[in-house]
Structure 1
Amino acid sequence: MEKQYQQLQPEERLTIASMHLQGSSMRAMARMLGRSPATVSRELARNCRFENYASIPAPALSVARRIAARPPARLDPKGVTWRIVLTLLDWKWSPQQISGTLKRMYPNDSTQQVSHETIYTAIYARPYGELRRQLVACLRHHRTDRIPRSRGTDRRGQIPEMVSIHVRPPEVDDRVMPGHWEGDFIKGANNASSVGVLVERTSRLVLLARMDDATAASALAGFSAKLNSIAAPLRQSFTYDQGKEMSRHRELTAATGVKVYFCDPHSPWQRGTCENTNGLLRQYLPKGTDRVQSG
């Protein structure tokens, strides 16, 4: 079993101080304490003043070194940047929007710039309480904890004849030529109604297709009608997750001429434009309600 390192205790430091005054060797001190000679050597090197070792200030010096070794928080709760973040969160801005705004506000000052992950970490690292609940409520998905990208085995079953995103033409990633779309479903309460979301990767144009339910038949009809309302040159590809509502993707291709590609399981970042759009739409179509049907 691997040994775990433990900080020197006050009584051990007293022993070191006493033996050091008696002129004992470091190996003798280590044997007495049951410690490594390197531990005793570091302790004496760090906390000796004028060749004398003082056991009383040694713990305070050790704590001070540990604090100094930690990098300062990018979002200091007492700093100006954190106050800006709090204000923009209260305005219902996403951490991604806030991060981009800070980069534009302080283009030459990296100390005032933070990533969206840093903002999420600052929110979720706070202890549970009213302030944390208020901050989480400002986020679009209102999740009490961050959800890992991988959540285990996919239990939804396999869609027949899927074409992987990894064989999608490289020009789709470049976002230079329009006509490549990402899609998803926003579902109402109990999946009784839904809205199909289409986002064009180059222009970020968003199209919504209202559907009666979340079945494959509704997805085929709704997406086909919406895609066919677009000029043919702007219907090149369609990237989706592995939701079962797209099990009739071959019929969608036959009806629209759009090639359908599927993301890897639990990989929403492969369809990031649509995921970000869903976050914006969820402010107006929140989960657990049936505003999809009544709106």
Structure 2
Amino acid sequence: MAKQYSHLSAEERAVLQLERNRGTSLQEIGRRLGRSASTLSREVRRHGDGIYSAHDAAGSYRARRSRCVRRRKLVEEGELFQFVHDHLVFERWSPQQIAATLRAMQPDDASQRVSHETIYAAIYVYPRGGLKKALVEALRQGKPSRGRRRTTAAGRSWVPEQLRIVHRPEDIEQRLVPGHWEGDLIKGAFNRSCVGTLVERKTRFVVLCRMDGCTAEAALEGFTRQMRKLPAFLRESLTYDRGSELTCYEALMQRLNIDVWFADPHAPWQRGSNENTNGLLRQFLPKGVDLSQASQEYLNHVAKLMNGRPRKTLGWATPAQVMEREIIDFKSRVALDS
């Protein structure tokens, strides 16, 4: 394996200066330093034919190195930084969504786009202060370091065997048609308030439901109220965890004419879209706050923001766009059938 090259150190430059002043040959100096004579020859020529100065040579070396450093794209005064900052902080887009949009806007100009990793790196290298705090809080999880949080699901014995997710039709699993939802609650301070979350599996369309408490009756009323606003063809099934708030599932099935399926204990990946969405929603509905103060109007606004974000899994289309296409396709099929 070849020895890795290293630049001359300050001590080596000092030895080179002293020995050159004494008239020592470059071959001899090279043997003493363990350096090639050609390396020393280039060093001497680089700084003119006069007297070699270790101090001047070191200064010139540092200047050359500084010019070789890759320039940062995201500097606070630049337009690119402002675009990233505004979409991250004000629009609450993720770094991936911002990077994908920049690629679409500037396909032929690499200087006007950045990767999502560059955005993350720019956030974390900032010194402590108000700007860094705002950028970190705008991230999905609001954490100062990247990483995934572990989640668990509690098992419940009241779930009927025939409604376990293992019996759910395969076309739901494959996300072939719209109308199949994943649901959950996100809790507020001391688990005394909550908001119902619904995510359509194919389009990732989000619906939020205000709850008047965390009981099964409150969940029944909240989910019923919001899901009744959906077209009937978009109310095919609901996959839920084993939380006791859905013990009124039979009444929900009757009211909405919908199938209900229950995920297995300790298997949050079986409702992955909903778990991911709950994490994103914590930007707007943070832990430790009283969620009973969130009006349905505010929740509709949050859902609109979520549905207006481009999603990688949708080819960078938004859930609202994909849902609109599904509704148009359904209406066209009905018109043809009639």
Q: Which TM-score tier does this pair reach, normalised by the shorter chain?
A: 0.5 to 0.7
CA root-mean-square deviation = 4.9
What are the equivalent positions in structure 2 for 1:48-197 lying under 5 Å apart? 48-49=44-45, 54-89=53-88, 91-96=90-95, 97-137=97-137, 139=138, 143=142, 145-149=144-148, 159=155, 172=173, 176-197=176-197
Is residue 195–residue 208 contact of structure 1 (8 Å, CA) maintained in 2?
yes
- 1:75, distance to aligned residue in structure 2 (A): 1.7
For residues 231-276 of structure 1, the C-alpha deviation after alignment (integer angstroms, 9 at most, x for no partner) is 5875357487xxx748989x89xx66445557998989x9367635
SS in 1 for 2:71: coil
Gap change, CA 1:19 and 1:261, over 3 Å in 2: farther
SS in 1 for 2:123: helix
SS in 1 for 2:280: helix
Name structure 2 gaps, 5 residues minimum: 158-163, 296-338
SS in 1 for 2:276: helix
Give 1:27's aligned residue: 31
Give the paired residue count: 268
Going by fraction, where is helix more abundant, 1 or 2? 2
Is residue 124–residue 145 contact of structure 1 (8 Å, CA) maintained in 2?
yes
Gap change, CA 1:287 and 1:57, over 3 Å in 2: same
Give 2:308's aligned residue: none
For 2:16 and 2:267, the matched residues in 1 are separated by 58
Gap change, CA 1:277 and 1:158, over 3 Å in 2: closer
Is residue 149–residue 267 contact of structure 1 (8 Å, CA) maintained in 2?
no
What are the equivalent positions in structure 2 for 1:220-231 lying under 5 Å apart? 231=232
2:206 aligned with 1:206, yes or no? yes
Give 1:288's aligned residue: 288
TM-score by length of 1: 0.63
For 1:265 and 1:132, the matched residues in 2 are separated by 35
Q: What amino acid is aligned across from residue 93 of structure 1 in structure 2?
A: R
For residues 195-241 of structure 1, the C-alpha deviation after alignment (integer angstroms, 9 at most, x for no partner) is 121111333332234446668x689857985898675875357487x
TM-score by length of 2: 0.56
Q: What amino acid is aligned across from residue 272 of structure 2 in structure 1?
A: R
Larger C-alpha radius of gyration, 1 or 2?
2
Is residue 194–residue 291 contact of structure 2 (8 Å, CA) maintained in 1?
no
For 1:19 and 1:266, the matched residues in 2 are separated by 71
For 1:169 and 1:57, the matched residues in 2 are separated by 74
Give 1:235's aligned residue: 236
Name structure 1 gaps, 5 residues minimum: 31-36
Q: What amino acid is aligned across from residue 147 of structure 2 in structure 1?
A: P
2:48 aligned with 1:44, yes or no? no
Gap change, CA 1:221 and 1:180, over 3 Å in 2: same
Is residue 136–residue 142 contact of structure 2 (8 Å, CA) maintained in 1?
yes
